[in-house]
Amino acid sequence: MLTLQKKLTAALLFTGLASTLVLGAIAHWMLMRDFRETLMDEAFDNFRADMVAYVESHPQWTESDLGRDFSDFVRHRRRPMGGPGGFRRPPPDVSFKRAGTPPFRFIVMDPDGRIVKGSEALPVGAQAPADTRASARPIEVDGRLVLLASPDGEPVLTRRDQDYLDAMRKALFTGMGVAVGLSLLFGLMMGRRMSRSLQTLTRAIRDMQTNRELPRHVPVRSGDEIGELARAFNDMNAELTQAHRELREYAELAARQSERLKELSIRDALTGLYNRRHFDEHAGNLYQQALRYGQPLAVMIGDLDCFKQINDVFSHAIGDEVLRRIAALLREGTRKADLVSRYGGEEFVILFPSSTLEQAAQCCEKLRQAIEAAPWHEIHPDLQVTMSMGLSARLESGSVDGMIADADEQLYRAKHGGRNRVLPPPAQAA
Ligand SMILES: Nc1nc2c(ncn2[C@@H]2O[C@H](COP(=O)(O)OP(=O)(O)OP(=O)(O)O)[C@@H](O)[C@H]2O)c(=O)[nH]1
């Protein structure tokens, strides 16, 4: 895969290369143009000086004189000082001398544009074309325009000119190479930096997706778009973390509420004991288990004695309090495995898994005694509460309901036998 780092490096390299090439080409073109102009200026200065000297020394010059004598005049004029007809001005720097060849031929015109010193294409006497006149430069004597000179042809470069241009080109190409190298270096550095930030971000997002890692914080290394992206990621992550926390709290609350609702649905509101519906659901299972594994199972149904009287004499509220305390006594006096429930108004049923009739009878006898001995006077000085209980451990009754019906018969007998008793009593249950 072409990574972002490579793409950025390639883009910067390409841009650097393209701009360096364009700038280099422009710089080279300008160098050559300016160099040529300098050569032309230098050549024109020499030519004008020669021409002015000729005109001054030949006031009656004619076109034919100019064509015949001028070259000899110039050669003669440039002889070293001291000789006959030598320089009246210092010679030009020999190092810039154009290898004996004039850099340009100059077409010379009078001020009206008529050619007085021409070339093969532009003979003497002809009218100079517009472009030749446009590029013409003035030759003045004592402030008076006497002639116009226009360059014809390209400059001839000396060895020294070539060396100078080569050195300039070398410097230019070196500069271009350095610029390309720098753009490659910067491209690499910037690409690495940008891709590192993006890689950190990508890793953080992947971690969030796969490991559900919250909260995550990525460093913000710059104020540019990537820095803004990192900042946006951190903000989003903070919001997600907050939402996640709230969701978890909400889920925990919902679970607690659901647990509470479930608990409420299986418990009796007044006493907190299991209600009859829950008892019926579970007792059936315990009965089936006892049958399957050949284990004993006993059931007790208990009924408060003369409870109507308690309500009537002491009030319904005291009756409720009695029911609550009875429930607490039943819970305290039984094992965790025993299923204690409020079966009806003042009726209670307890299922004793893995218990024989005798074991259940002993437990119930203790419960009966505990109820009888409870400090009922704390509720009302004249209050006394007892409970009658009937038991059954006959699995052959066919169901829990059948066993309860058996136990109910015992309860009936207990009530008619004087109340406040367990039937069968432990001694007989053995
Ligand atoms: N305070 C109160 N009383 C209730 C509640 N449920 C049922 N009772 C009362 O319990 C009484 C039951 O009375 P009965 O069925 O006549 O029996 P009893 O008075 O206990 O007489 P025996 O069972 O023969 O000992 C009724 O007066 C009901 O109103 C309750 O939740 N709170």
CATH number of the domain to which 404 belongs: 3.30.70.270
Q: 130: domain range?
A: 4-159
Looking at residue 183, what is its pLDDT?
81
**Cα–Cα nearest to 349, from 279, 421, 282, 250:** 279
pLDDT digits (tens, 9 = 90+) for 87-141: 444 444 433 344 444 456 789 999 999 999 888 888 899 999 999 899 899 999 8
Looking at residue 104, what is its pLDDT?
62
Looking at residue 389, what is its pLDDT?
98
Task: Using a cut of 0.80, tell me whether the model's pTM lies above it.
Answer: no
Given the CA of residue 310, which atom of ligand 1 is nearest to it?
A: 19
- Quickly count: other Cβ atoms within 10 Å of residue 286's Cβ: 19
- The torsion angle over the Cα atoms of residues 327, 296, 411 and 323, rounded to 10 degrees, is 0
**Of 144, 159, 174, the domain-final residue:** 159
Q: Are residues 285 and 142 in the same domain?
A: no
Are 204 and 33 in contact, with CB atoms under 8 Å apart? no
- 345 CA from centroid of ligand 1 (Å): 6
Looking at residue 288, what is its pLDDT?
97
Q: Are residues 282 and 155 in the same domain?
A: no
Nearest CA residue ID for atom 15, ligand 1: 308
Looking at residue 81, what is its pLDDT?
53
Looking at residue 224, what is its pLDDT?
86
Alpha helices (runs of H) in 267-377, residue ranges in sequence order: 276-293, 307-314, 316-332, 357-373
Does a structural domain hold residue 313?
yes
Q: Are residues 154 and 296 in the same domain?
A: no
Looking at residue 99, what is its pLDDT?
40
Looking at residue 98, what is its pLDDT?
42
Nearest CA residue ID for atom 8, ligand 1: 345
Q: Are residues 15 and 145 in the same domain?
A: yes
- Given a cut of 70, the residues of the chain with pLDDT beneath it are 1-2, 79-104
Q: Environment class of residue 364 by beta-carbon count within 10 Å: exposed (0-12), middle (13-18) or buried (19+)?
A: buried
What DSSP element (H or E) covers 389? strand 387-392
Does a structural domain hold residue 329?
yes
Give the chain's domain count.
Answer: 2
Q: Are residues 151 and 296 in the same domain?
A: no
Looking at residue 90, what is its pLDDT?
46
Are 414 and 426 in contact, with CB atoms under 8 Å apart? no
Given the CA of residue 305, which atom of ligand 1 is nearest to it?
A: 25
**Of 130, 159, 188, the domain-final residue:** 159
Query: Using CA atoms, how far apart are residues 403 and 299, in angstroms rounded to an integer?
Result: 7
Does a structural domain hold residue 63?
yes
Are 194 and 217 in contact, with CB atoms under 8 Å apart? no
In short, whether 45's Cβ falls inside 6 Å of ligand 1 is no
**Of 115, 143, 159, the domain-final residue:** 159
Does a structural domain hold residue 191?
no
Does a structural domain hold residue 228?
no
Does a structural domain hold residue 149?
yes
Does a structural domain hold residue 181?
no
Does a structural domain hold residue 237?
no
